[in-house]
Amino acid sequence: MQTHRVVVLGASNKPHRFSNKAIRLLLEYGYHVIPVHPRLENIEGLAVKHDLHHIPETIDTLALYVGPERSLPMLDDILALEPARVIFNPGTESEELELALYHHDIPFVKDCTLVMLEQGRF
């Protein structure tokens, strides 16, 4: 069985944050989670990547937990990552990023990772 790799961009070590809740639920469901945060070293027992261009693996899902003011400067890295899909969680929507993904044939959805997991739509 192939491992489904999920990058959580904007990962947090704070349990009340949605990105942290998503990491815990993804792990519970058996996904391979790669948290990305510029300064943290460890989240929920996982080694943290400090940026996207240090991720050599093929990525199935990129779950966004940063707003456009943070994601747009990473646009080239997001495109270079070539995830199989991107999830724009609430508050992360960006027309510019959506357009770039569209032009690079990277599918995306505007949804909530937590709801998708709980409803079996992930």
Mean pLDDT across the chain, nearest whole number? 96
* Rounded average pLDDT over 95-109: 98
What band does 1 get if pLDDT is binned at 50, 70 and 90?
very low
Residue burial 14-34, b: 16+ Cβ < 10 Å; e: rest: eeeebbbbbbebbeeeebbbb
More reliable by pLDDT, 56 or 40: 40
Q: What is the pLDDT of residue 69?
A: 96
Question: What digits encode the pLDDT tens for the residues 51-75?
Answer: 999 898 999 999 999 999 999 999 9
Specify the CATH number for the domain of residue 84. 3.40.50.720
pLDDT of residue 54: 86
Instruction: Using alpha carbons, list the distances in angstroms from residue 113 to 22, 30, 39, 110.
Output: 7, 14, 23, 9
Q: Which is it for the CA torsion 55, 48, 38, 88, positive or negative?
A: positive
pLDDT tier at 3, thresholds 50, 70, 90: confident
**In which band, very low, low, confident or very high, does the pLDDT at 2 lie, cut at 50, 70 and 90?**
low
Q: What is the span of the domain harbouring residue 79?
A: 5-118
- Give the amino acid at 66: V
| pLDDT for residue 26 is more than 80 | yes
- d(Cα 8, Cα 76) in Å, to the nearest integer? 17
Specify the pLDDT at position 27.
97
What's the domain count of the chain? 1
Q: Which long-range contacts (CB under 8 A, 24 or more apart) does 108-114 make?
A: 109/85, 111/87, 113/22, 113/25, 113/26, 113/63, 113/87, 113/89, 114/18, 114/21, 114/22, 114/25
Assign 21 to helix, strand or coil. Answer: helix
